[in-house]
Amino acid sequence: MVDIAFIGLGAMGSGMAASLAKAGHRVRAYDLMPDSVAAAVAAGCDAAASVGEAVVGAAFVVTMLPTGAHVLDVYQNGEGVLAHAHPDAVLIDCSTISVEDARAAGESARARGILMCDAPVSGGVAAAAAGTLTFMVGGTADEFEKAQPILQAMGKAVIHAGQSGAGQAAKICNNMLLAISMIGTCEAFVLAEKLGLDPKAFFDIASQSSGQSWSMTSYAPVPGMVPTAPSNRDFTNGFAGALMLKDLRLALEATHAVGMTASLALKSEEIYSEYIVKYQPNRDFSGVIDMLRNQ
């Protein structure tokens, strides 16, 4: 049994903290939202009243926060993770943030002799709740080895991507592809509908044909196909369109940094920007199908 501080109990963090508690770890959970802390307690965690209270004495500190600005603030502010972490603690940030911010967080930890790895996830809310996420980890071999057992309690695959920041590099490339593939999947469903095809018949065919993708078979944007997909709950409690847009922008920043043009990523950025204005920023990204259907 290991003491773990868990900070950020939102759509993803709530399930991840619960998986750690279920695996027998002592988890001290903190979020700005008291209701989220109460839900974590109901799932077997202990409540912490601040970042500091969660972190003091913990062997591992897991963060699952919206953006790089949140992560750097929670790490570096005077009442934050670095001010309270034990020198032997291992910090694991699972949020999706820029490679640059991940490296900055890692450097500020290592400057204090504390190990840190970036370990963003793939899999969505259902996988977070089921403990079947995929983790892509950036850090030294030692950091990876130490973080691995904790990540394994929350996931089905834990992969060492390379040095600090490499987990985030893998994540933004993956999500650039997901952003594009979801729009393609939505357009195919809309065209199928307009051609008079039964959506279930199209799903059964495409999910076993060359149009198959994760967007289709694990996260279908049409209800009644994949029970855990947000399309069955009016696109609530999924992966917010605003967060997908954030990831896409991180990918586009990276394309600029390396001097490449990714035209489908650019077009997708335009589409999700319009989507979060026309609908709700919190609405799941696969709900973009409604906007595409009504165009």
Binding to ligand NAD by CB under 6 A, coded x per residue (else -) over 160-199, reads ----------------------------------------
From the CB of 193, what's the least distance to ligand NAD, in Å? 25
Residue 29: strand pairing partners = 6, 47
Among 37, 64, 72, 114, binds ligand NAD (CB under 6 A): 64
Q: Are 219 and 227 in contact (CB under 8 A)?
A: no
Q: What is the DSSP string of 242-287?
A: HHHHHHHHHHHHHHHHHT---HHHHHHHHHHHHHHHHS-TTSBGGG
Spatial separation of the C-alpha atoms in residues 253 and 247, rounded to whole Å? 10
Q: Looking at 31-84, which runs of residues are DSSP E strands?
A: 46-47, 60-63
Scanning 5-13, 177-185, 215-223, 264-272 for contacts with ligand NAD by CB under 6 A, the matching segment is 5-13
| DSSP SS3 for 160 | strand
Closer residue to ligand NAD in complex, CB, 10/106: 10
Closer residue to ligand NAD in complex, CB, 70/160: 70
Spatial separation of the C-alpha atoms in residues 279 and 271, rounded to whole Å? 12
Q: Which residues contact 182 (CB under 8 A, 6 or more apart)?
A: 215, 219, 221, 285, 286, 288
Spatial separation of the C-alpha atoms in residues 156 and 159, rounded to whole Å? 10
From the CB of 10, what's the least distance to ligand NAD, in Å? 2
- Tell me if residue 194 is catalytic: no
State the CB neighbour count (10 A cutoff) for residue 256.
10
The count of residues interacting with ligand NAD (CB under 6 A) is: 25
Residues 213-242 that bind ligand NAD (CB under 6 A): 239
Spatial separation of the C-alpha atoms in residues 174 and 134, rounded to whole Å? 12
From the CB of 154, what's the least distance to ligand NAD, in Å? 12
Closer residue to ligand NAD in complex, CB, 135/202: 135
Residue 138: strand pairing partners = 118, 162
Closer residue to ligand NAD in complex, CB, 39/197: 39
From the CB of 95, what's the least distance to ligand NAD, in Å? 4
Q: Are 147 and 59 in contact (CB under 8 A)?
A: no
Closer residue to ligand NAD in complex, CB, 11/276: 11
Q: State the catalytic residue, choosing from 146, 156, 171, 246.
A: 171
Spatial separation of the C-alpha atoms in residues 280 and 295, rounded to whole Å? 17
Residues 26-45 that bind ligand NAD (CB under 6 A): 30-33, 36
Closer residue to ligand NAD in complex, CB, 11/206: 11
Residues 73-132 that bind ligand NAD (CB under 6 A): 74, 95-96, 121, 124-125
Q: Is the dihedral of CA 173, 176, 180, 181 positive or negative?
A: positive
Scanning 1-9, 20-28, 98-106, 270-278 for contacts with ligand NAD by CB under 6 A, the matching segment is 1-9
Residues 239-258 that bind ligand NAD (CB under 6 A): 239, 243, 247
Active-site residues, by number, are: 171
Q: Which residues here bind ligand NAD, judged by CB under 6 A?
A: 7-13, 30-33, 36, 64-66, 70, 74, 95-96, 121, 124-125, 239, 243, 247
